[in-house]
Each structure stands twice: as C-alpha cells, then as structure tokens.
C-alpha cells in the first residue's frame, strides 16, 4: 500500500523511467487527457524508480570494509575471552598473583586435583603448532568448545566450562575462535595431565572430601 501511495505522488508529477532514462513532464501536461490512459504505467514505473533510487542510495552510503569487519570480530572475541576469564586457567602466574601477560594464554602453572580423576593443568591455547592449538582447525576448536571433544577424541574435563561455552551464539563462537587464532604463538609446554597418584610438578588446587558426612 505504501508503494501505491508513493506511485500516486510520482504520477502527479508525471515521473517515470523510460528506456533507462528518468523523464519528467511539466505539471501542465499531467492535467491532459493522457494521464488516465497512462495511469497504470507511471504507477508501475514510479515504483521501479523508487527501487532504483533506493539501490543507488545504498551504493553511495559508506560500507564497512573487510578490514573493519575483521577488526570488529576480533574485538568481540577479545571481549568474550576476557569476560570469560580464560586467563585464569590458561595464563601462567595468574593464580600465584603474578600473571605473565607476555605469555598470555600459554598455559597455567597451577593444576586442579580432582579425586579419582587426577590433576588437570590449563593448557597452552595460543596458535603454537608444537605446544598449543596451532594445528587444530577452526572446526576442531569450535567442536571442543561446543562438545568438549578434542581432535584426538579425548573429552575435556568440565573444569574447562565447555558446557557453558556451548551456549554461545554462532557469531560469538566465531569471534572467540578468530581471536584465539590471531594471538602470537607462544612456545610453552604445559605439564600434565596427571593421573591419580602420579607426582605433580606444579602447584595444585585440591578438591578434598569433607571430614564429616
């Protein structure tokens, strides 16, 4: 209906597109008997003119460049990694009060000891191909974050909160993965995981059962 009202306005000014050119007849001619004869054509062509002008306006408006889109995605990813506290379990020194930001996300130096499970140390998640996740594909990283399954088939402990990360939107997941893959690779081997009863070479948080049931 809105298009019809617009076409009536165009028809009043006898504005239409003919052979690819925009033609405007003087207002005096629109009062002639020719207007009823061509009343349908100006209406249809005026709608086409409106679409053409809308398309031209869209083309003339500034569009975000690919670089700006990527920068926005990485900024979103950094924000999510930060508020998700990934540094806590994946950056050395964090739990010891001296976080080593030069080795951000290159693996923790404190483990979580769980009865009957063992001790788990937050691994290096920088793009290092030897000690990090540089050999993981984008799809493999997303699968680990959504299902907890690593490329080698091992299931991550829920100390790594992948069940919560699985609820991220596709867009946010893409942003996190893009940001992680944009980080400088850090060559740092994280110890572990350690099985139950194995000697542990790092500081440990222990989950102990209560003394009284």
Q: Are residues 24 and 72 in the same domain?
A: no
Q: Name the β-bridge partners of 15.
A: 24
User: Does some domain include residue 211?
Assistant: no
User: Does some domain include residue 52?
Assistant: yes
The DSSP secondary-structure symbol of 91 reads S
Q: Are residues 82 and 17 in the same domain?
A: no
Indicate the residue among 60, 85, 104 that finishes a domain.
60
Looking at residue 86, its pLDDT comes to: 95
- Torsion, Cα 190 194 198 204, to 10 degrees, reads 70
Provide the H-helix boundaries in the chain: 2-12, 27-30, 34-37, 40-60, 66-83, 86-90, 138-147, 162-165, 170-182
Residues belonging to the chain: 213
- Alpha carbon distance 142, 12 (integer Å): 58
| Cβ atoms 188, 182 nearer than 8 A | no
User: Does some domain include residue 72?
Assistant: yes
Q: Are residues 55 and 95 in the same domain?
A: no
Tokens 């004869």 belong to residue: 37
Indicate the residue among 28, 60, 92 that finishes a domain.
60
**3 CB contacts (<8 Å, ≥6 apart)?**
47, 50
Token pair for 1 = 């209906």
Residue numbers of the domain that contains 155: 66-206
Q: Are residues 194 and 143 in the same domain?
A: yes
Q: Are residues 118 and 181 in the same domain?
A: yes
Total domain count for the chain? 2
Phi, psi of 125 (to 5 degrees): -115, 25
Q: Are residues 22 and 39 in the same domain?
A: yes
- Alpha carbon distance 152, 187 (integer Å): 21
Looking at residue 54, its pLDDT comes to: 52
pLDDT per residue as tens, the chain (213 positions) = 444 444 444 444 443 334 344 444 444 444 444 444 444 455 544 555 555 555 555 555 555 567 768 899 999 999 999 999 999 999 999 999 999 999 999 999 999 998 888 999 999 999 999 999 999 999 999 999 999 999 999 999 888 999 999 999 999 999 999 999 999 999 999 998 899 989 999 999 987 777 776
Q: Are residues 34 and 109 in the same domain?
A: no
Q: Are residues 77 and 24 in the same domain?
A: no
**Burial of residue 55, with CB atoms counted within 10 A of its CB: 0-12 exposed, 13-18 middle, 19 or more buried:** exposed
Indicate the residue among 60, 87, 104 that finishes a domain.
60
User: Does some domain include residue 186?
Assistant: yes
Looking at residue 202, its pLDDT comes to: 92
Looking at residue 48, its pLDDT comes to: 58
- Alpha carbon distance 138, 180 (integer Å): 10
Q: Are residues 93 and 49 in the same domain?
A: no
**9 CB contacts (<8 Å, ≥6 apart)?**
46
Q: Are residues 78 and 34 in the same domain?
A: no
User: Does some domain include residue 47?
Assistant: yes
User: Does some domain include residue 212?
Assistant: no
Q: If you write DSSP's letter for every residue of 32-70 in order, what string do you get? A: STHHHHTSHHHHHHHHHHHHHHHHHHHHHS----HHHHH
User: Does some domain include residue 151?
Assistant: yes
């Amino acid at each position: 209906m809105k298009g019809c009202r617009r076409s009536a306005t165009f028809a009043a000014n006898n504005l239409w597109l003919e052979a690819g050119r925009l033609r405007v007849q003087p207002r005096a001619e629109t009062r002639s008997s020719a207007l009823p004869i061509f009343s349908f054509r100006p209406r249809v062509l005026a709608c086409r003119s409106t679409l053409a002008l809308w398309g031209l306006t869209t083309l003339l408006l500034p569009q975000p460049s690919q670089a700006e889109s990527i920068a926005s995605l990485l900024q979103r990813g950094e924000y999510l990694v930060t508020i998700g506290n990934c540094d806590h379990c994946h950056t050395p020194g964090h739990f010891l009060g001296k976080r080593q930001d030069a080795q951000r996300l290159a693996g923790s130096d404190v483990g979580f000891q769980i009865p009957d499970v063992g001790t788990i140390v937050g691994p290096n998640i920088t793009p290092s191909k030897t000690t990090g996740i540089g050999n993981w594909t984008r799809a493999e990283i997303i699968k680990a974050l959504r299902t907890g399954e690593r490329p080698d088939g091992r299931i991550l402990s829920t100390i790594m909160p992948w069940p919560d990360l699985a609820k991220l939107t596709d867009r946010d997941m893409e942003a996190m993965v893009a940001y992680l893959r944009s980080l400088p690779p850090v060559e740092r081997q994280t110890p572990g995981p350690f099985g139950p009863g194995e000697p542990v070479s790092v500081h440990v948080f222990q989950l102990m059962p209560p003394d009284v049931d």
